Chains A and B, each alone.
Chain A
Amino acid sequence: MLLIPCPHCGVRPENEFRYGGEAHIARPSRPDDLGDQQWADYLYMRTNTKGVHFERWRHIHGCARFFNCVRDTVSDRILETYPIGASAPGAAS
């Protein structure tokens, strides 16, 4: 079981959380303008990184808030967590 550092509640066991999938996939701001391929990219295509992965978790049995998490998907080691809305650590700007 992972021990996950919630940015709001501290380190808590994994079964207090719900996994929220890949992070930083922005909902299209103008959905009417999207073609089929762009919809497929948004809805279905995933990076599925082997290595450092940016993902969301939600502390459903705690503060109930979403947050972002950086985890190595080979070792399952959590590198850091940061609030929702913040840009990815190490990303340009």
Chain B
Amino acid sequence: MHRFSLLTLALGALTGHRTWAEQWRSPEPKAEYDAVIIGAGGHGLATAYYLAKEHGITNVAVLEKGWLGGGNTGRNTTIIRSNYLWDESAALYEHAVKLWESLSSELNYNVMYSPRGVMMLAHNTHDIQVLKRHVHSNRLNGIDNEWLTPEEAREFCPVLNIGKDIRYPVVGASLQRRGGTARHDAVAWGYARGASRRGVDIIENCAVQGIIRDVSGAVTGVETTRGTIRTKKVGVVAAGHTSVVMAMAGVRMPIESYPLQALVSEPVKPVFPCVVMSNTIHAYISQSDKGELVIGAGTDAYVSYSQTGGFHIAAHTLDAITELFPMFRRMKMLRNWGGIVDVTPDRSPIIGKTPVPGLFVNCGWGTGGFKATPGSGHVFAATMAEGEPHPLAAPFTLDRFRGGRLIDEAAAAAVAH
């Protein structure tokens, strides 16, 4: 496996870049593994990477029914932030942001993490109260977040319209300067490369069809489209399809799957310096390094696995975008798509053990999982390795819905549900 460095890049240039080896292996599945991860998205691959690196568990398979990073990892709007309200969430998402800060060097793979600042707009008194509450809560947790006047918001994002004559004028904003974006595909590829190098088998085009259990109910393997694989530990990291996979083990989940839409424009020169989100009028926007405006819309109203959604949802978002940023009114949109997000009743994830021995689950990231990718994989790997929840994952058990200790992040989720 090549290491990327200035020297190897220069040598590659001299040979016309024809000498690069494949970034990860594509092996045939073995008959048995110490652990099996279902789902080769960012979270699943990160889990495998940290299992191998931090816990020495290298005999691991990551099973993917489609292609690597082809689900929500390749469909999200790549925003990173940790300005969540409650202590439990703030700790979890901040853990992820800290890992983002050094992820490119950790993986020797450029994930293009760009802390360009995430600004959340307020349009009414309620927004001001909610966002200021988040600012204060974040600062108590040592997380940067500050309150801006409309004029300060425009200073940070000069193309923002703070006119008083629009339908929902901007009356203030909160700003997390360490928030930003990263390159979503590179995150999946970097983790895949790092995991594969440490011995993890990444097996694409391998759909799980059943979870095999012994008389005590414990997991003993999985049935797949590429044969039976024996294992005593299974981690389900299947996002929108979590309910489907967990049903194979007879476990009902507090999850519903909805389409969440996004769209990108034609690429243009750099015009948009940060990330701007508005929960109230259902829009968020940033500009990729390639120059496309990356725009996030809301979820559709109904349960669906269709990876598409109603056009009126995207159109509604563009109404908001063009009012906040009038210069984009004549911009052409190139693509519009949907991803299937696994939404929990409290908009917080579920990470940990299940009633089935040997079966672990990491799901419920809903509309905002990308930002958590490194932290999610890190704490879930520890949970799978030790058999007990990592301290940061401990509040996010499946059991909280029985005990009632919900972690309500509906406001911080920042996507209209």
Contact = CB atoms under 8 A, between A and B. Distances in A.
Nearest to B313: A1
Given A40-B254, A45-B252, A48-B255, A75 B402 contact: no
Nearest to A77: B306
A21 B401 CA distance: 18
Interface stretch (B136-144, B296-304, B370-378): B296-304
B256 A14 contact: no
Chain B, interface SS category: loop
B304 A40 contact: no
B253 A2 contact: no
B243 interface: yes
B310 interface: yes
Contact of B310 (A1, A21, A37): A1
A64 B404 CA distance: 33
A27 interface: no
A59 interface: no
A44 B401 contact: yes
Contacts of B257: 48, 50, 73
B256 A46 contact: yes
B305 interface: yes
Chain A, interface SS category: mixed
Interface residues of A, number: 28
B302 A44 contact: no
B306 A73 contact: yes
B242 to A, nearest CB: 8
B252 A47 contact: yes
B306 A74 contact: yes
Contacts of A47: 243, 252
Given A1-B312, A15-B312, A50-B241, A45 B253 contact: yes
B243 A48 contact: yes
Nearest to B302: A19
Nearest to A14: B310
Contact of B304 (A37, A43, A76): A76
Interface in B371-416: 401-404
Contacts of A40: 254, 401-402
B305 A74 contact: yes
A49 B244 CA distance: 7
Interface string A67-93: 000010111100000000000000000
A63 B241 CA distance: 35
B325 interface: no
A19 B301 contact: yes
The 5 closest A-B pairs by CB, nearest first: A44-B254, A48-B243, A19-B301, A40-B402, A45-B252
Interface of A: 1-2, 14-15, 18-19, 21-22, 36-37, 39-41, 43-50, 53, 55, 71, 73-76
